[in-house]
Structures are given as structure tokens and as C-alpha cells.
Amino acid sequence: MANSNSHLDTNQVIRFLLLNLLIATSGPWFIRIFDNFWDHVVFYVIGVLVLALFDRSYGRIHFWGSFFIAFLIVQIILSSINIAWLVIQPRLKLDPGIVAVPLTVSTGLEITMLASAITLTPGTLSVDLGHNDKGQQVLFVHNLTVGDPEAFRNSIHAGFERLILRTTRGV
């Protein structure tokens, strides 16, 4: 078995992903199943399970990545409802502002995932990446309803960052 260390080997993941896509696209053809979308999904899952036997981190990436995508979809829906509710109110109750969120994610992939997830969520926008006065990397996020900046930071850390770190590092 390959090692399952905590750091993401991007080249290994890409090789396994390409092999997995090959399994997903050719599997239904080889066993002569009617070729539809769900056959490919089933063979993709089978490919993940088989390849996870060789490298556990590949299985972990798919497991926690699925949770991350589901969490992102739920956040997009909840934020959309929240923004729609704000818009239909007789008086807008906006409290816009830019919050500096200190990052626990550190790699380019992790930061890109976080910034993209935040920007995809209605009412929030990743504005800039910089450093605070302590030298720590921060992501500047514009929010339509800041409220308590510390609660907003904690929601980013407890939600998106936690799942990103679980996906990429297993922590």
C-alpha cells in the first residue's frame, strides 16, 4: 500500500483521477451495460473504492471533498434565501463591510478553494489576499451583513476551512 501521509501529492492524485475517469468511461462499455450517466457514476465510485485500496489519501480526498461540495451547496442555498429575504424587506437592513479573515489554509490550492467557495456564496466576495500586522496571511472578504466580524471569521474557520483542510490534509 502507498503511504497515506497528511500532505497532498498532487501528481499522484491527478494520475489516480485520470485512471478513475478511464474506469468510469470505459467500464460500462466493457461489460455491455446500457451506456447512461448513472452507469458512469457507479463505475466512478467503483474506481474510487479500488484506487483507495492503493492510496488511502485518494479515498479521503473524495470522501471529504463530497462533504465540502455538499456543505457549499447548502451554504449557497441558505445565503440565497437570506439575501432574498433582505431584498424584499421594506427597509434594507444591510451592514456591509470588509472583514480580514486570518487563514489556517496555506497552499495555493487551499486558498483558491476557500476564496472560490466564499465568492460563490451569495452576499460574500473574496476581495484580496494579504498579510496582517503579525505577518499572517489573511483573506479580505466583503460581506453584505457583517454583524459581528469575529462570528463571521469563526464561521469561515469552522465551515469552509475545516472541510478544506480535511480534504487536502486529512486533519
- Closest Cα partner for 60 from 139, 143, 157, 167? 167
In the chain, alpha helices (H): 10-30, 37-54, 56-88, 108-120, 149-156, 162-168
Tens-digit pLDDT profile for residues 57-77: 888 899 999 999 999 999 999
The predicted-structure confidence for 126-152, as pLDDT tens digits, reads as follows 999 999 899 899 999 999 998 899 999
User: What domains are there in the chain, each with its CATH number?
Assistant: 10-54 (no CATH), 90-168 (3.30.70)
pTM recorded for the entire structure? 0.80
pLDDT band at 97, cuts 50/70/90? very high
Going by pLDDT thresholds of 50, 70 and 90, the confidence category of residue 6 is very low
pLDDT of 160 strictly over 80 = yes
